[in-house]
Amino acid sequence: MPSRRCFLGLAAATMLAFGLSASAGSALAQAAPGKPLRVVTTFTVIQDIAQNVAGTAAIVESITKPGAEIHDYQPTPLDVVKAQSADLVLWNGMNLERWFEKFFDNVKNVRSAVVTTGIEPMGIKEGPYEGKPNPHAWMSTASALIYVENIRKALSEADPANAATYAKNAADYAAQIKAMDAPLRARLDKVPAEKRWLVSSEGAFSYLTRDYGWREAYLWPINADEQGTPQQVRRLIDLVRKNKIPAVFSESTISDKAAKQVARETGAKYGGVLYVDSLSDARGAVPTYLKLLEVTVDTIAKGFGQ
């Protein structure tokens, strides 16, 4: 990763090129009357949730692009410009965006909000991040409702004139999320109870497996420095064999090589790609958060022959 001095130098040069000074950033921190609020999020899942709450009252952009790895993203100077031009920046927290706090130090006089405030985190159970929150709380529909409410509050504080619009949109979208829960549960309940093991590359499905009564196994607990080591692969192979787990999956933003090795050596089926850390573009399989939940659960069920 570039040094902090290099990053700051590039950021300053880019901001000057775009005519953005610190004072300009201060002016942009307030919503301009008669214009949509400008909102920037750290990744695409929050972007979609926020756009549903905002409706036409705000323009919401994501720093990371569809399909991108978000944990160790390396921000660019143009990302600083984007954030500095915003009225509000929304981020997940729970140590998901390990790059964000240093990045946001370079953004002046712009509101920010952590959208997981009030969620009881599940802890990471092993590895270098043991005891820290598992950040993938949006994989629980119950937690997603808290995301919606936190985003509504943040939008309303940044743009009080449209508070009623945000409240209505939030209520409508929350109803859509609530309506997802029963079909997701019914789909996963078709898998026999003794087979309900969700095996993936990253331990990103703790909230989903907790909510729907599944057990979870994975190669590594969170996308970090060590991914797919021989020790991780061997341990998961042993677990899959011991428990006769019939299917193994991997996530869309990482290599499927290690997961396919586990499937090959155990005779389990490689069940395909699960979506968690990023949406697709508009033409892809999961252009929205609700579609991400639907497609991921459908892929799991099909992997088990349901």
Local structure of 69: helix, strand or coil: coil
* Residues sharing a CB contact under 8 Å with residue 220, sequence separation 6 or more, in sequence order: 127, 201, 202, 203, 226, 227, 228, 232
String of DSSP letters for 123-169:
BP-SSTTTTSBP--GGGSHHHHHHHHHHHHHHHHHH-GGGHHHHHHH
Q: Is the pLDDT of residue 7 over 50?
A: no
DSSP string across 259-285? HHHHHHHHT-EEEEEE--S----TTSS
Residue 104 CA to residue 66 CA, distance in Å, equals 21
Q: Is the pLDDT of residue 4 over 70?
A: no
pLDDT for the residue numbered 47: 99
How many CB atoms neighbour CB 61 within 10 A? 16
- The confidence band for 8, taking pLDDT boundaries of 50, 70 and 90, is very low
Distances, alpha carbon 232 to alpha carbons 131, 203, 280, in Å? 19, 12, 28
pLDDT of 33 reads 73
Length of the chain counted residue by residue: 306
Q: What is the pLDDT of residue 227?
A: 74
Kindly report whether the global pTM for this prediction surpasses the value 0.85: yes
The ranges of the chain annotated as CATH 3.40.50.1980 are 4-181, 187-303
Main-chain phi, psi angles of 170, to 5 degrees: -65, -45
Q: In the predicted model, what is the mean pLDDT of residues 263-291?
A: 98
Geometric angle at alpha carbon 303, from 299 and 306, rounded to 5°? 90
From residue 303, give the alpha-carbon distance in Å to each of 3, 251, 255, 273, 279.
44, 14, 19, 10, 21
**What's the average model confidence in pLDDT over 96-102?**
93
Q: What is the pLDDT of residues 105-135, one digit of tens each?
A: 999 999 999 999 999 999 998 877 788 999 9
Supply the DSSP symbol for 253. T
Taking the CB of residue 56, how many other CB atoms lie within 10 A of it?
A: 10
In words, the CATH class of domain 187-303 is alpha beta
Of the two residues 88 and 29, the one the predictor is more confident about is 88
Residue 166's pLDDT is what? 99
Listed residue (31, 290, 18) closest to 162, CA to CA:
31
pLDDT given at position 126: 81
38-70 per-position pLDDT tens digit: 999 999 999 999 999 999 999 999 999 999 989
Of 5, 25, 9, 11, nearest in space to 75 by CA: 11
**pLDDT given for residue 127 in this prediction:** 76
Grouping H, G, I as helix, E, B as strand and the rest as coil, residue 288 is coil
**What class does CATH assign to 4-181?**
alpha beta
Per DSSP, the three-state class of 229 is coil
